[in-house]
Structure 1
Amino acid sequence: MNKLPLQKDRLTREFYARPTEIVARELLGKCLVRRTNRQWVGGIIVETEAYLADGDPASHSARGKTRSNASMFMDAGTLYVYPIHAKYCMNAVTEGPGRGSAVLIRAIQPQWGIQQMQSNRQTQDLKRLTRGPAMLCQALAVDRGDDGINLTTDRNILIAQPRSPSPATDVYATPRIGISKAIDERLRFFYRGNSFVSGPKRDHR
Structure 2
Amino acid sequence: MRIDSEFFQNEALFVAQGLLGKKIVRVYDSGKIEKYTITETEAYVGEEDLACHASKGRTKRTEIMYHEGGKVYVYLIYGIYWMLNFVTGKENNPQAVLIRGVEKCSGPGRVGKLLQLSGDFYGEDLSYSSKIWIEDSHVKPNFITTERIGIDYAGEIWKNKLWRFLITRN
TM-score (norm 2): 0.91
The answer to whether the aligner puts 1:139 opposite 2:114 as a matched pair is yes
Distance in 1 (CA, whole Å) between partners of 2:62 and 2:5 is 20
Partner secondary structure for residue 50 of structure 1: strand
Structure 2: runs of 5+ lacking an equivalent: none
Bigger share in strand? 2
Aligned pairs, number:
164
Does residue 133 of structure 2 align to residue 158 of structure 1? yes
Instruction: Check 1:68–1:54 CA distance in 2 against 1; reply closer, same or farther (3 A cut).
Output: closer
Which residue does the alignment assign to 2:14? 22
Q: Percent identity?
A: 32
2:159 aligns to what?
Answer: 183
Of residues 43, 52, 57, the one that matches 1:50 is 43
What runs of 5+ residues in structure 1 fail to find an aligned partner? 1-8, 110-126, 195-205
Equivalence for 2:168: 192
Deviation sequence 1:90-113 (CA, Å, 0-9, x none): 10100111111000011111xxxx
* Distance in 2 of aligned mates of 1:48 and 1:134: 13
TM-aligned CA distance change 1:35 to 1:99, over 3 Å: same
Distance in 1 between the 2:169 and 2:151 partners? 23
TM-aligned CA deviation for residue 193 of structure 1: 3.7
Task: Quote the offset at 1:80 in angstroms.
Answer: 0.2
Q: Distance in 2 between matches of 1:91 and 1:136?
A: 11
Q: Deviations over 1:48-85 (max 9, x none)?
A: 00000152100000011100111111121000001111
Q: Letter of the aligned partner of 1:156 in structure 2?
A: K
Q: Any idea what the Cα deviations from partners look like across 1:122-178, whole Å, max 9, x if unmatched?
A: xxxxx5xx211111111111111110000111111101112xx54x64210011011
Q: 1:192: how far off? A: 2.0
SS at 2:110's partner residue?
Answer: helix
Q: Does 1:100 align with 2:94?
A: yes
- Aligned partner of residue 106 in structure 2, secondary structure: coil
Shift in Å, 1:45: 0.4
**1:55-134 counterparts in 2 under 5 A?**
55-86=48-79, 87-109=81-103, 127=104, 130-134=105-109
Q: 8 Å contact 1:41–1:140 — kept in the other structure?
A: no
Report the structure number with the largest CA radius of gyration: 1
**What code does the residue aligned with 2:16 have?**
A
Task: Tell me the amino acid that sits aligned with residue 102 of structure 2.
Answer: I
Give the 3-state SS of the residue equivalent to 1:96 in structure 2: coil
Does the CA contact (< 8 Å) of 1:172 and 1:192 recur in 2?
yes
